[in-house]
Amino acid sequence: MLIHSIQAAAERLNQGDLVAFPTETVFGLGADAENPQAVAKIYQIKERPSNHPVIVHLAPEADLSYWAKQIPHEAELLIKAFWPGPLTLILQRAAHIPAAVSGGQSTVGLRCPSHPVAQALLREFAEQRPNGQGGLAAPSANKFGQVSPTASQHVMNEFATEIAADELWVLDGGASEVGIESTIVDLSRLGEGVPATLLRPGHITRQQLSEVLGYEPRNKDAAAPQVSGSLKAHYAPKTLLQWLPASEEAISALIQSMHGDATVTAAKWAVLVFDPTAYPAEYESVDYIAMPRDPQQYAQRLYALLRDLDKQGYARLAVQPLPEDESWEAINDRLQRAAAAFEG
């Protein structure tokens, strides 16, 4: 059911049920973070592995010490600079916070979204609780491993069966402004001498983090906590997606070879092109889609476009390689994981 009432949504969440809600990144599938049974419902309808952690969303005035054992100085710096906003911090989880939100780990992912509907919901949810503390566990509102939703209709399409069975409500709030998931920074190992670690790139770039921290966050290592969206194959559309070769000659050769492939003959495929000057000769069975040359605009459009292309019957999708500078790091990350879902 699609709803517009913040109060009704908060009441449902406090009863242990699920509500999908908008954030500036993507729509989240929300449940009471302190109710393991409610969190289990998220895993069930997403078909998500139980050891894959979720992110807890908090209102701007939330008491972080309720959720984390300690708030290190680096966290205070990043919070001042980027909250509310698309940044998730990994901290050591307070003892009374259920391990269900962290996949059994000792850590917890915390984020304060900037979307006004999300903030209103989080405030109302907390106000309805006896101690005034409340957080929503909210991974992206899609089946596990698929493209994240950036509009309420995406959620309605994804969970039509669950919505019809009244297992899920959807709180409307317009399209997500950022369009890809939050940046995730691990601060849980500072006490062990491990500096801030970038676990997932996002809208907030490595350079922006460096300017606030005073040093560049290190890359993810084998001992880092597991976090949302960290699997090799993730964010995948239903239609086969692959990278294109970099040169015009290689692109043309690939298209010509595919025309000789019986599995794709007479089947259309779409090419997401970043650089119009690299267009090869036109082919009847290929649709070229010009993508924004600005990384923020590209991110904002990407997921909605992939969902739309999934409905158009293409045999496959292809993506022209993007710049490798850090402003494109998050988009490259998402597309690499999406393509990995189709690698043999």
Same domain, 60 and 128: yes
pLDDT at residue 246, rounded to an integer? 65
Task: Give the residue-averaged pLDDT of 244-266.
Answer: 63
Q: What's the confidence (pLDDT) of residue 276?
A: 75
Is 231 a residue whose pLDDT tops 50? yes
pLDDT in tens, 134-157: 999 999 999 988 999 999 999 999
Q: Is residue 6 part of a domain?
A: yes
Q: Which residues are annotated as a binding site for ATP?
A: 48, 107, 140, 148, 200, 235
Residue 255 pLDDT more than 80? no
Residues 50 and 170 in one domain: yes
Q: Which of 161, 184, 219 is the last residue of a domain?
A: 219
Q: Is the pLDDT of residue 260 over 70?
A: no
Verify that 185 and 285 share a domain, yes or no.
no
pLDDT 10s digits, 55-99: 999 999 999 999 999 999 999 999 999 999 999 999 999 999 999
Residues 185 and 259 in one domain: no
Please count the structural domains in the chain.
Answer: 2
Using the predicted structure, report yes or no on whether residue 115 has a pLDDT greater than 70: yes
Give the Å distances, CA to CA, from 96 to 108, 156, 179, 210. Answer: 12, 34, 33, 32
**Sorting pLDDT into bands at 50, 70 and 90, what band is 230?**
confident
At 250, is the pLDDT very low, low, confident or very high (cuts 50, 70, 90)? low
How far is 185 from 194, CA to CA, in rounded Å?
12
Domain-located, residue 278: yes
Among residues 28, 12, 14, 229, which one has the least CA distance to residue 117? 28
Work out the number of other CB atoms within 10 angstroms of the CB of residue 220. Answer: 16
Residues 194 and 247 in one domain: no
Residue 224 has pLDDT above 60, yes or no: yes
Full domain range(s) for residue 272: 240-341
**pLDDT digit string, tens, across residues 2-54:** 989 999 999 999 999 999 999 999 999 999 999 999 999 999 999 988 888 99
The verdict on residue 159 lying in a domain is yes
Q: Would you say residue 157 lies in a domain?
A: yes
User: pLDDT value at position 211?
Assistant: 98
- The last residue of one of the domains, among 187, 219, 251, is 219
* Tens of pLDDT, residues 208-220: 999 999 999 999 9
The answer, yes or no, to whether residue 265 has pLDDT greater than 60, is no
Same domain, 249 and 337: yes
Length of the chain: 344
Which pLDDT band holds residue 280 (cuts at 50, 70, 90)? low
CA–CA distance, 107 with 105 (Å, rounded to integer): 5
Checking if the pLDDT of 341 tops 70, the result is: yes
Q: Is residue 24 part of a domain?
A: yes
pLDDT of residue 74: 98
pLDDT given at position 279: 66
- Show binding-site residues: 25, 48, 57, 107, 111, 138, 140, 148, 182, 200, 235
Mean pLDDT, all residues of the chain: 92
Query: Residue 220 gets which letter from DSSP?
Result: P
First and final C-alpha spacing in the chain:
38
Tell me if 337 is assigned to some domain: yes
Mean pLDDT within 314-324 = 92
Residue 144 in any domain: the answer is yes
Per-residue pLDDT at 262: 47
CATH (domain of 155): 3.90.870.10
Same domain as 96, residue 195:
yes
Share of the chain above pLDDT 70, in %: 92
Specify if 295 maps to a domain.
yes
For the annotated binding site for L-threonine, the residues are 25, 57, 111, 138, 182
Give the position of tokens 């940044």.
87
Residues 79 and 131 in one domain: yes
Percentage of residues in the chain with pLDDT exceeding 90? 79
Same domain, 76 and 185: yes
Helices (H), the chain: 6-14, 36-46, 73-82, 116-127, 152-158, 160-164, 206-213, 248-259, 295-310, 329-340
- Does pLDDT of 167 surpass 60? yes
Same domain, 203 and 271: no
